């Protein structure tokens, strides 16, 4: 507390207090009364009647009250003011992280136990709400307002701007945890979108907010991979409230993958990547269960964190890392692989257990990543038809080396005969070498199926149009992440006759490889047809002589033959995300349920069988079933086709539960120690005068009651 005018107050006190006391002595003009004897009165007033002035005043309530009034007035004259910590801004956005890592139970409790980070975040947020200013009678300030947003993979606005603390607290209490990864970029964008826009000539301008800047309070453990892309706005402030401890230890599965052997698809290998962010090495048992049966347990030692390593990819942008003085200790990584013979569809569950005990991990503050799931389709060898007018020894040699269940040769005539007989559906992939059928009456270039077209272009509305011959050409670029094109080196491919093609995106055609004269390899997709078209004549190029030709054929056949697009050996996703997949055309009565006994939720399949499943909130295995034809890898259960999907956290950033002391944003670095507080002055004199008035009223009441002792 400080005083604005203490001198004046002291002088006034020096004059007023003695004056009051003197006045009090003088004011007692007693009336003389003669009585028979003072004997009894003397006894009664022994204390009061003493001559000493202070004894006389000792129990005088009225004088005491008057002194109190005078004292309050004098202190008010000295203009006391208290300096308090207050927020710099009046508007606040409370962002509460409820992602998977916030379920870590590493926050010590008052009662000796531990609570989850989300609970601690709720408590800290409510404490922050308590700090908000309320508009007062004697305060020129208006009340602070706050908005509550919970975020995980996306934002959820729990409470709009309000100054009502009870509603804010209730909103904060209503936030429950999720199992999803964290993203703050969209959250901040949503928060800013709720601020009033700045008007320029009557038009609201996106990105420019009006009014006073806001403070965004981020209650999080700082495990936010996209924080460096989050833009809180140039004028707004960010206060990062670190939740959780830096030393929180966790061992968890951060990647899970299953692969079937190329040569022997019944040979299934499951890989689990395990990370440890503790200082010490951790020994854990990894248990794998296939279709509910334990198929193996392996013991693995996961090394402790590696000091002074670079920050993991995606955790923070390099420019933000430059602002971070703390060194990032990389979690220790270990892997475990299980190999088994499993030709059929397999639902796989991998768990981390305490070594030798068979029980769940001890001293692990984050349980969500201690198990993972996989849905592996049944092993299937493809059957391939090659339709070639003149025969192609390179193609035949390359395809015969693939592990196919069937490889049949057709001439255009025999193939059309097969088509007529309706036997074409027996083949998963048809390779059309230098020949394409004519388009049907509706203009469809190909009958339903999957095609690899070499050296020719489909007729009709295929989206690929030949514009002319281009002569000799080379391939200069290709999409390296396409399943059919990955791991290829096409720099050394020269084509003797590279046609000039035009590709129409509207008709579902995408370019996979570009030559110097335009598109060279194109993927064509219609609801019924998927085809990869190599536009130039392969036999008049150097490609058959390159290794990349064989690899391309193998990958293209595998890609076209594979039904799903999720992943080649396991349909996986993360919590909070939706899965896009395509069911066989004509699928009806589609629904999804969580294994083993979740409720069925209906899904709507598109005309081409495409469905969007989810978003699926929790980890585990999900079963999509439908009426209708089953795909090559689907199972038939009780007359319904069934396809399994796995949802795993599989997020190294979430599994690394060490709370970060800094939150590097696109524009700034918010540290846990930085408080967006400023010193505010609160004048106390009006309260003192109010108090004096109240005491005066009490004095008046006392006076009227004549209780003058």
Q: Which is nearer to other proteins, 53 or 234 (CB)?
A: 53
**What's the min distance (Å) between Cβ of 59 and other proteins?**
10
User: Is 38 or 357 the residue whose CB approaches other proteins more closely?
Assistant: 38
Q: How far is the CB of 708 from other proteins (least distance, A)?
A: 5
The HSE-up count of residue 472 (CA atoms within 13 Å, CB side) is 3
What does the angle CA 309 – CA 314 – CA 319 come to, to the nearest 5 degrees? Answer: 75
Nearest CA among 528, 529, 532, 531 for reference residue 520: 532
E strand intervals along 325-454: 328-330, 332-341, 346-353, 371-376, 383-388, 406-410, 429-433, 449-454
Q: How many residues bind other proteins (CB under 8 A)?
A: 24
Residue closer to other proteins, measured from CB, 40 or 280: 40
Q: Under a CB-based contact definition with an 8 Å cutoff, are residues 332 and 231 in contact? A: no
Which tokens sit at 274? 């395990």
The single residue listed with the structure tokens 């299980």 is: 338
- Shortest distance (Å) from residue 75 CB to other proteins: 29
Cβ-based nearer residue to other proteins, 39 or 604: 39
- Give me the least distance between CB of 35 and other proteins, in Å please: 5
Q: Is 372 helix (H, G, I), strand (E, B) or coil?
A: strand
- Closest CB to other proteins among 43 and 140? 43
Q: Which is nearer to other proteins, 140 or 706 (CB)?
A: 706
Nearest approach in angstroms of CB 123 to other proteins is 53
Residue 689, burial from CB neighbour count under 10 angstroms (0-12, 13-18, 19+): middle
Asked if 499 and 470 touch (Cβ cutoff 8 Å), the reply is: yes
Distance (Å, rounded) from C-alpha 87 to C-alpha 184? 23
Q: Burial of 356 by CB count in 10 Å (0-12 exposed, 13-18 middle, 19+ buried)?
A: exposed
Tokens representing 462 are: 């295929």
Map residues 20-59 to x or -, x wherever contact with other proteins holds by CB under 8 A: --------xxxxxxxxxxxxxxxxxx--xx----------
Q: Which one, 35 or 442, has the nearer CB to other proteins?
A: 35
- The binding track of 275-314 with respect to other proteins, each residue x by CB under 8 A or -, is ----------------------------------------
Token couple for 75: 């202190």
**Smallest separation, CB 693 to other proteins (Å):** 26
| Chain centroid offset of residue 295 CA | 33
Per DSSP, 402 falls in state S
CB nearer to other proteins: pick between 262 and 701: 701
Nearer to other proteins, 421 or 706 (CB): 706
C-beta of 70: minimal distance to other proteins in Å?
21
Instruction: Give 22 or 45: the residue with its C-beta nearer to other proteins.
Output: 45
CB of 81 within 8 A of CB of 684?
yes
Q: In terms of CB distance, is 50 or 360 closer to other proteins?
A: 50
Choose between 33 and 547: whose C-beta lies nearer to other proteins: 33
Distance CA 454, CA 432 (A): 6
Q: How far is the CB of 22 from other proteins (least distance, A)?
A: 17
Q: How far is the CB of 19 from other proteins (least distance, A)?
A: 20
Q: Show the binding pattern over residues 667-706: x = contacts other proteins (CB under 8 A), - = does not.
A: ---------------------------------------x
The dihedral built from the CA positions of residue 167, 168, 169 and 172, taken in this order, carries a sign that is: positive
Report the residue number, 262 or 708, with the smaller CB distance to other proteins: 708
Least distance in angstroms from the C-beta of 60 to other proteins: 8
Least spacing, CB of residue 135 vs other proteins, in Å: 46
Pick from 695, 691, 492: nearest CA to 64: 695
Q: Residue 228, SS3?
A: helix
Query: Please, which residue, 32 or 263, has the CB nearer to other proteins?
Result: 32
Closest distance of CB 703 from other proteins, Å: 12
Minimum CB separation of residue 16 from other proteins in Å reads 24
Q: How far is the CB of 48 from other proteins (least distance, A)?
A: 7
DSSP state of 360: B
Q: DSSP states of 63-79 as a string?
A: HHHHHHHHHHHHHHHT-
**Smaller CB distance to other proteins: residue 33 or 200?**
33
Distance (Å) of CA 667 to CA 234, 328, 409, 551: 8, 21, 63, 46
Q: Which is nearer to other proteins, 1 or 54 (CB)?
A: 54
Distance CA 658, CA 98 (A): 16
Nearest to 293 by CA among 256, 348, 355, 345: 348
Structure tokens at 256: 């899970």
* Inter-axis angle of helices 393-400 and 547-561, nearest 10: 60
**CB of 47 vs other proteins, minimal distance in Å:** 10
Task: Report phi then psi at 624, rounded to 5.
Answer: -105, 125
Q: Strands, DSSP E only, in 498-618?
A: 499-503, 509-515, 518-525, 529-534, 572-573, 577-582, 588-594, 601-603, 610-616
Distance in Å, CB of 707 to other proteins, minimum = 6
- Asked if 498 contacts 417 with a C-beta cutoff of 8 angstroms, the reply is no
Burial 4-27 (b: 16+ CB within 10 A, else e): eeeeebeebbeebeeeebeebeee
Interface positions with other proteins (CB under 8 A): 28-45, 48-49, 706-709
């Amino acid at each position: 507390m400080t005083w604005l005018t203490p001198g004046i107050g002291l002088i006034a006190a020096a004059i007023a207090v003695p004056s009051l006391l003197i006045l009090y002595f003088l004011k007692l003009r007693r009336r003389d009364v003669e009585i028979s004897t003072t004997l009894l009165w003397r006894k009664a007033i022994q204390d009061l009647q003493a001559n000493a002035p202070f004894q006389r005043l000792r129990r005088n309530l009225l004088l005491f009250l008057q002194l109190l009034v005078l004292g309050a007035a004098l202190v008010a004259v000295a203009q006391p003011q208290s300096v308090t910590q207050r927020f710099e801004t009046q508007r606040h956005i409370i962002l509460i992280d409820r992602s998977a890592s916030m379920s870590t139970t590493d926050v010590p409790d008052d009662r000796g136990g531990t609570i989850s980070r989300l609970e601690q975040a709720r408590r800290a947020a409510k404490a922050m709400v308590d700090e908000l200013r309320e508009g007062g009678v004697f305060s020129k300030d208006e009340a602070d307002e706050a908005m509550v947003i919970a975020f995980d993979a996306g934002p959820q606005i729990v409470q709009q701007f309000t100054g009502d603390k009870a509603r804010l607290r209730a909103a904060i209490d209503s936030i429950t945890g999720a199992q999803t990864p964290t993203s703050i970029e969209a959250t901040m964008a949503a928060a800013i979108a709720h601020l009033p826009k700045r008007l320029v000539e009557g038009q609201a301008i996106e990105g420019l907010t009006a009014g006073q800047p806001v403070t965004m309070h981020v209650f999080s453990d700082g495990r936010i991979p996209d924080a460096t892309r989050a833009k809180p706005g140039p004028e707004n402030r960010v206060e990062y409230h670190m939740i959780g401890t830096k030393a929180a230890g966790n061992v968890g599965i951060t990647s899970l993958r299953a692969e079937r052997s190329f040569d022997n698809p019944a040979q299934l290998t499951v890989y689990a990547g395990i990370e440890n962010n503790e200082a010490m090495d951790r020994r854990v048992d990894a248990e794998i269960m296939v279709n509910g049966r334990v198929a193996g347990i392996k013991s693995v030692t996961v090394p402790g964190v590696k000091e002074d390593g670079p920050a993991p990819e995606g955790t923070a942008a390099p420019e933000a890392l430059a602002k971070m003085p703390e060194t990032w200790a990389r979690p220790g990584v270990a892997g475990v692989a299980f190999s088994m013979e499993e030709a059929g569809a397999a639902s796989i569950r991998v768990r981390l257990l305490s070594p030798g005990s068979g029980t769940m991990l001890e001293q692990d503050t984050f349980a969500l990543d201690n198990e993972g799931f996989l849905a592996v389709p049944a092993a299937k060898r493809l059957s391939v038809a090659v339709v070639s007018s003149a025969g192609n020894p390179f193609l035949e040699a390359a395809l015969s080396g693939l592990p196919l269940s069937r490889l049949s040769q057709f001439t255009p005539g025999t193939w059309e005969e097969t088509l007529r007989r309706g036997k074409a559906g027996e083949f998963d992939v048809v390779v059309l070498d230098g020949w394409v059928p004519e388009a049907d009456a509706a203009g469809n270039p190909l009958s339903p199926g999957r095609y690899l077209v070499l050296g020719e272009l489909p007729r009709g509305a295929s989206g690929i149009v030949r514009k002319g011959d281009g002569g000799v050409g080379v391939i200069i670029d290709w999409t390296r992440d396409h399943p059919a094109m990955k791991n290829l080196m096409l720099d050394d491919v020269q084509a003797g006759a590279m046609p000039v093609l035009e590709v129409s995106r509207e008709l579902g055609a995408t370019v996979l490889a570009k030559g110097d004269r335009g598109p060279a390899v194109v993927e064509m997709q219609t609801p019924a047809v998927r085809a990869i078209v190599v536009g130039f004549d392969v036999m008049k190029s150097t490609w058959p002589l390159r290794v990349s030709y064989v690899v391309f054929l193998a990958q293209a056949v595998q890609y076209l033959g594979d039904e799903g697009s999720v992943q080649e050996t396991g349909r996986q996703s993360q919590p909070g995300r939706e899965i896009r997949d395509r069911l066989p055309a004509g699928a009806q009565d589609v629904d999804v349920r969580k294994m083993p006994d979740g409720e069925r939720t209906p899904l709507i399949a598109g005309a081409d069988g495409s469905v969007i499943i989810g978003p699926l909130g929790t980890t585990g295995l999900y079963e999509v079933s439908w009426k209708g034809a089953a795909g090559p890898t689907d199972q038939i259960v009780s007359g319904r086709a069934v396809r399994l999907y796995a949802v795993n956290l599989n997020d190294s950033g979430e599994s690394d539960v060490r709370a970060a002391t800094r939150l590097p944003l696109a524009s700034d670095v918010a540290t846990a120690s930085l408080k967006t507080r400023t010193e505010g002055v609160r004048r106390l004199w009006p309260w003192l005068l109010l108090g004096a008035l109240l005491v005066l009223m009490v004095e008046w009441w006392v006076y009227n009651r004549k209780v003058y002792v």
